[in-house]
Chain A
């Protein structure tokens, strides 16, 4: 039985192991109970109630809100600059594609910086959740692919935009982060950036959405201290 209870996360065990062990001593578990405990351990890893109560909510933000806002604004500005430069570039339909433009490096750096802003959001304050963090890390990983040239940049571009959609929707669901929803339509628009050379300005609303989301971070009150267990 103790082997089964060891499957629970450490924070969970620190909080509940004693009393659960006492309960199991009073009521020896059936095979159905063992399965239930196995499901409980899986749930405790997937939806960490105790970690969230004792560590997540008490932790210091990875980056202060002003730093998060600055990263989002810088990343957004780079996307806008990249789109504007791309839009002003003449392309040879036979040879040129957008990554050949001087604007493309701006876009790539913008993708990295916005991914860092997303990571700062996901690890900052009480809005931090596992799914939000995964979306932020995925953004960074896809930004890395975006910087690697054909054919990886294509996977990177679409992976990055899909991650942004997921991140924006998750962020919008968190308390006091409603502006995250702006990223969803903006990321949908920006997908046309990659398919049409004439759609370079699709990067502009995307950049503006990041700036708006970053600005909203400044109005977020500091996370309340949760009463732990």
Chain B
């Protein structure tokens, strides 16, 4: 089944990271970058970050809050949370299947 983030091409994965990052509260661009780097171990480039933010915002999965100084925080919307939840559940099933098969192979 297609979900809004899987339609984002090369921005699908960064978008998923951003949604996860925003799921515990609003963050601005720099905070998202450092959070994603801490979660995944690989840095998110600024061009990729803003390409993904623009797509998520346009699809109503996140929304911009009033700027604080020059930094603008973003927060996940209800639609974004639902989408993220569905996608993580899908990934969880995928991971379970993979691990089960690996276990079967090991035996």
Contacts and interface: CB of A to CB of B under 8 A. Distances in A.
A130 to B, nearest CB: 15
A84 interface: no
A78 to B, nearest CB: 38
A216 interface: no
B29 interface: yes
B54 to A, nearest CB: 4
Contacts of A41: 47
B24 interface: no
A52 B58 CA distance: 9
A95 interface: no
Interface string A188-229: 000000000000000000000000000000000000001101
Interface in A1-55: 12, 15-16, 18-24, 26-27, 29, 32-33, 35-41, 43-44, 49-50, 52-53
Grouping DSSP codes into helix (H, G, I), strand (E, B) and loop, the A interface class, with mixed when no group exceeds half, is: helix
Contacts of B28: 19, 22-23
Given A18-B67, A19-B67, A229-B57, A36 B45 contact: yes
Nearest to A42: B47
B43 to A, nearest CB: 8
Interface residues of A, number: 31
Interface in B52-90: 53-55, 57-58, 60, 64, 67, 69-72
Given A50-B54, A227-B60, A229-B64, A22 B71 contact: yes
A23 B47 contact: no
Nearest to A53: B58
Question: Which of B45, B48, B71 has the most chain A CB atoms closer than 10 A to its own CB?
Answer: B45
Given A18-B67, A27-B33, A36 B46 contact: yes
B98 to A, nearest CB: 30
Contacts of A44: 51, 54
A37 B57 contact: no
B67 A37 contact: no
A37 B47 contact: yes
Contacts of B47: 33, 36-41, 43
17 contacts: A19-B29, A19-B71, A22-B28, A22-B29, A22-B70, A27-B30, A27-B33, A33-B46, A35-B45, A36-B47, A37-B46, A40-B46, A40-B50, A43-B47, A49-B51, A229-B57, A229-B64
